[in-house]
Every structure is written in C-alpha cells, then in structure tokens.
Structure 1
Amino acid sequence: MILVTGATGTVGREVVGLLPAGVGVRVMARDPAGVVGVAAGVERVAGDYGDPGSLARVLRGVRTAFLVTAGVGGGDDAVFVAAARAAGVRRVVKLSAAAVLDGGAGDLITRWQRESEELLRVSGMEWTLLRPRAFMSNCLSWAGSVRGEGVVRALYGEAAHACVDPADVARAAVRVLTEEGHAGRAYTLTGPQALSAVEQTRQLGAVLGVALRFEELGPGQARAALAGRYPPAVVEALLDSALRLKAGAKAGVQDTVSRLTGRPARTFRQWAAAHAASFGALTAAAGPQAGPRAPGAGAAGADAGP
C-alpha cells in the first residue's frame, strides 16, 4: 500500500493520478470528500498531522509513503515520521527543496526543510528525498494582472531560474515510489533551462498570442504583495530566497527528471501552453498593442520559492 499525503496539492494530486493501476493507493486529507477525480479503488482516509491517532489509522498497512508538509517551522514532519515508524512503514519519500544544498541559504524555509530531511535520515526507515527547484506553477500568481492589464510584475526580473513543472516532479515521485533502488538517495529536480521572469513573460505572451509587459517590483513592493499571502517570517524567507536568485544560486540545470522518468523535463513554454486557460481571456487594453517594456534591473520573482 502506498500512502499519498498532500493529495489535494500541486504535486500530490498529480502523483495520485499517475500511480499505475493495480497498485494499492491510499490518500490522506483532512476532508477526504475534497479529494476528487481519483481512480476507482483509491482509498480516501481522514488524517491530520495534528492528530497522531488519525495518523495511526491512516498508516495501518502502508509500506511506502509520499510525505508532503507545508507548515513551515512546525512539527508535522516529526509527528508523521514517528507515526510511520511505529506503524511499520518501510520507506518514506519526502518532497523537500533544492535550496537545502545551497550553503548560502539560511532562511526559515530552508532550515525547516533541512531539519525535516534529517528526521528521515535518522528514522531507521528507508528514505528518498526529492528536491525540486520552484514550480513553474508559481507563475499562476500572475494570472490576475495578465488577464486584467497584460502585465507581469515580479522582483529581480532578469535573474535566471531553473524552475520545474510540478507534473515532472510527480512523475519522478511515482518512479521512486514504485521502484526499488532509490533508498538513501536525494534527487535535485530542475527544468531543462534557466529562464528569467522577463523571458517567461515573453514566452507566456507568445503562447497567449499577446505582447505582455513586464514591470519590475522593488523589494518594498514585493514585501507588501507577499504580506497579503504569508506570515511575516515566511515573507522574509521568500525575500531572502529572491536575493539568492538574483545572485545566480538557482540557475543550475540538472538532467535528473529525464534520468528518472525516461522523458525530457518539460519546458516553460510547454507548461504555459498546457495552462493557457488559467490565464483567461485578456481585456482589450491587454491586447497585442501593449508592447513589451524592459525592466530597470533585476531577476525573477520573490514568490519563486527556495
């Protein structure tokens, strides 16, 4: 039995959909009714990291678990690892982040991921770590301004970032979850090329058939925008992450996706084409007559993640 946590999230729902028929699959969610579109035979079970009793029920009979946590700085990983060990789980595949390898990264999010990885290493269970760069799907945060104004706004718009399609992360996860030979390994997952937010804007506009405009955000503007979505400590961690992006720390490309999955990692243009509908119909003001405008200086968005 394979347990998938985070089954309603960006990667987890893709993993559930890609696991092969005939494999026993159980998904954990606070509200199992919210897990929709899964294949017949997939078990949906209520579970919460804050309720160890529920984890014991969820983990009964599970041999392999896909672990996704989002409570930055919290104890969800520790609770899950303890429950998995007690339940006799053989292997845990953890969704981490590529920033753990960056010696210059000391922000809250990266420290939390490093600590979570260490919990698995000393757990006595088999473990595998997936360390993606930020997801291409973070660009969906641009949808409102793209639809309404034909504009993308981001911090450090000219810095290159080897962001990855979350569907490729899911494909890699499925291989690791269903094959032997991955115990004790860590895989860094990137896209096939490093692109700046300026170039992403150009490619997205080409896919949508419009000339999108890029506007550079200053650090203060980025902080204000992020403050509406995240707690203060996470905002500062994301801004610190953006500075590392500006310094070139996230531009390295690896071929891990193709080696694990047997197919090339998808490009940003391919991702944009697959998600064009998410950016909706543009207003007349956002049409082809709105020519591109070069940013003053910079590198990709603060929202890019670790």
Structure 2
Amino acid sequence: MEGFPAGVRLRLMARDPARIAGGGRGVERVAGEYGDPGSLARALVGVRTAFLVTARVGGGDDAAFVGAARLAGVRRVVKLSAAAVLDEGADDLITRWQREGEELVCASGMEWTLLRPRAFMSNCLSWAASVRSEGTVRALYGGSGNACVDPRDVARAAVRVLMEEGHASRAYTLTGPEAVTAVGQTEQLGRLLGVGLRFEELGVGRARAALAGRYPAPVVEALLQSAQRQLAGAKAGVGDGVAVLTGRPAGTFTAWARDHLAAFAPAPVTEETGR
C-alpha cells in the first residue's frame, strides 16, 4: 500500500474484508470484530506493530483490542486519538472516550505512540449531496475556525511512526496549515467548481435534528458541545506534527478539495434520445 516500503507485510482487519480498498502484494485481509475475542486473536498472530482505530464511542473496543494485542505478543501499538484530548475544557462524551482509550494503551506495557488529529477535511463530504442538488452548504457556526487536517497527511504520519523506531511514548498533534471556516470552505469549493455556492447557517435545533439522523443521542450532544468549543476558538491552533513526521508541509483544504472535486460536482445533464 502507498507509503509502505516494498516487502513490508501488512495485515488489514475489518468486519467485512471484501470492503477493504487497496492492497497489492504483501497485503493480507482478515475478518475481525472487536467484540469477538477469537477473531482478534487470529488477526494478531505474528503481528509486532499494530495501528488501532476505533469508532464505536464507549463500546469498549479499545480495551478489547489492547487486551488481545498484549496476549498476542504485539510489541508496539499506534493509536489514532484526537486533538481534543489536550483541551482542558473538553469534557464531552467523545473526548472522554478518547482519553480513556489513550490511558489503556499507555498502561498496557506495550510500546505506544499517539496520533491526535484535528477534524478531517473529508468531513465536509457530508455536504456533497446538498452541494450537488442545491448549490448549498449547511453547517453550524459557519464562521468558526478549525485547523482541519488532510486525512492523507494522517496516513503518511501513521506510516512513519509504524515503520520507524524512536516514536515510543510520544504523542503527535496533526493539523492543517491554517484554521478554516465552513464559510471559507464553501467559498473555496465554489471557486473550484466554478459556481456560486450558498452557505446557510444552521441553528442549534436544526443541527441537532440533522445529526440525530446519523448518530445516537449521546453522540449528537457531544458533537454539539464540540462545536461550541470550536466557536470559542479551541480548534484554531496550528501545529507542526505533520511536518515533523512526514518532512513536508501539511496539505491545504484547497488541495484536498481539488483532488476530491468529483464528489461535489453535479452529474452531467444528458438528453434522452427519441426512439
């Protein structure tokens, strides 16, 4: 896979291995589920370094994986966490869960490294449908800045810490090169698409209703609390973690958007021919 030296053996675990994109020589796909100890044990046989990504808030997945990794003799765990853990004012459900996950890894007896990204630029793909159909972006607190990061930079950083020595007991905060707002992202997308996009500010009530269609109620409230911290400026700080780990500047939102513009572009209109 991209970024890994030739000859490195990779094992990728997912509930449905057939859905894992990418691959190539030396890549093995295996079925695994955090709630199935047997599947974790099988997936970790012979593994020396593991990259831990969990998404089920409060589900105990970090604990399940750490326990299985320790039993399997894994030497090093790199955990994907979140930049919010460093914010003393952040006490929402998601941030508490990430802190607990970090504590589990750090107390595991294995070598550990923490990657703490700010929000992914790819989160704005949730706007794609309304951009395509209405030319509109809807978001909460559209004027608040977030130093969001290109997920490709997070991947490059992960490869470095997985492959190199010297990162044990260290944590890296990964951000983009500047804080951007939803209003600013809307303007940049519009310029790239060559159209005038409209930004529509969501109130808290409408934002809660929109999120409720995608997440459980406790997670919705945690996301709204997180948005409040962003409004207060808690997510605008820029760090050098990407450059330190990858040796290259963090990617801009414009560059990310340009490479993913097809997701936002309206489908071409075609005329149906008569028969």
Partner residue in 1 for 2:272: none
Match of 1:163 among 132, 137, 148: 148
Q: Which has the higher contact order (CA 8 A, sep 6+)?
A: 1
| Matching of residue 204 in structure 1 with residue 189 in structure 2 | yes
Partner residue in 1 for 2:212: 227
State how far apart, in whole Å, the 2-side matches of 1:197 and 1:187 are: 25
| Matching of residue 191 in structure 1 with residue 180 in structure 2 | no
- Equivalent AA in structure 2 for residue 180 of structure 1: E
Q: Find the residue that maps to 1:94 and give its secondary structure.
A: strand
| Matching of residue 267 in structure 1 with residue 249 in structure 2 | no
1:37 Cα deviation from its structure 2 partner: 2.7
State how far apart, in whole Å, the 2-side matches of 1:202 and 1:33 are: 38
Structure 2 unaligned regions, length at least 5: 270-275
Q: How does 1:283-298 map to 2 (within 5 A)?
A: none
Partner residue in 2 for 1:135: 120
| Matching of residue 82 in structure 1 with residue 45 in structure 2 | no
Partner residue in 2 for 1:35: 20
| Matching of residue 56 in structure 1 with residue 41 in structure 2 | yes
Asked if the contact 1:47/1:54 (under 8 Å) is kept, the reply is yes
> Per-residue CA shift, 1:82-130, capped at 9, x if unaligned?
0100111000000000000001111100000000000011100000000
Match of 1:101 among 71, 86, 111: 86
Asked if the contact 1:155/1:242 (under 8 Å) is kept, the reply is yes
State how far apart, in whole Å, the 2-side matches of 1:113 and 1:213 are: 35
Asked if the contact 1:148/1:283 (under 8 Å) is kept, the reply is no
- Equivalent AA in structure 2 for residue 86 of structure 1: L
State how far apart, in whole Å, the 1-side matches of 2:161 and 2:54 are: 18
State how far apart, in whole Å, the 1-side matches of 2:59 and 2:37 are: 15
Q: Find the residue that maps to 2:2 and give its secondary structure.
A: helix
Normalised by the size of structure 2, how large is the TM-score? 0.96
1:74 Cα deviation from its structure 2 partner: 1.1
- Equivalent AA in structure 2 for residue 108 of structure 1: L
User: Over aligned residue pairs, what C-alpha RMSD do you find?
Assistant: 1.2
Normalised by the size of structure 1, how large is the TM-score? 0.86
Partner residue in 1 for 2:101: 116
Asked if the contact 1:157/1:196 (under 8 Å) is kept, the reply is yes
State how far apart, in whole Å, the 2-side matches of 1:18 and 1:51 are: 30
> Per-residue CA shift, 1:133-163, capped at 9, x if unaligned?
0000000000011011111110000011100
User: Which runs of at least 4 in structure 1 moved beyond 3 Å after TM superposition?
Assistant: none
Q: How does 1:6-17 map to 2 (within 5 A)?
A: 16-17=1-2
Asked if the contact 1:64/1:177 (under 8 Å) is kept, the reply is yes
> Per-residue CA shift, 1:18-38, capped at 9, x if unaligned?
322211111111111222331
1:41 Cα deviation from its structure 2 partner: 2.2
1:282 Cα deviation from its structure 2 partner: 6.6
> Per-residue CA shift, 1:49-93, capped at 9, x if unaligned?
111111111111000000000110111100100010011100000
> Per-residue CA shift, 1:198-244, capped at 9, x if unaligned?
11111111111111111100000000000000000000000000000
State how far apart, in whole Å, the 1-side matches of 2:243 and 2:264 are: 28
1:280 Cα deviation from its structure 2 partner: 2.4
1:40 Cα deviation from its structure 2 partner: 2.0
Structure 1 unaligned regions, length at least 5: 1-15, 285-306
Number of matched pairs: 269
> Per-residue CA shift, 1:266-303, capped at 9, x if unaligned?
1000000000001122799xxxxxxxxxxxxxxxxxxx
Partner residue in 2 for 1:297: none
1:264 Cα deviation from its structure 2 partner: 0.9
- Equivalent AA in structure 2 for residue 54 of structure 1: S
- Equivalent AA in structure 2 for residue 59 of structure 1: L
State how far apart, in whole Å, the 2-side matches of 1:170 and 1:258 are: 13
- Equivalent AA in structure 2 for residue 55 of structure 1: L
The verdict on how the C-alpha distance between 1:198 and 1:283 changes in structure 2, with shifts beyond 3 A counting, is farther
Partner residue in 2 for 1:46: 31
| Matching of residue 245 in structure 1 with residue 230 in structure 2 | yes
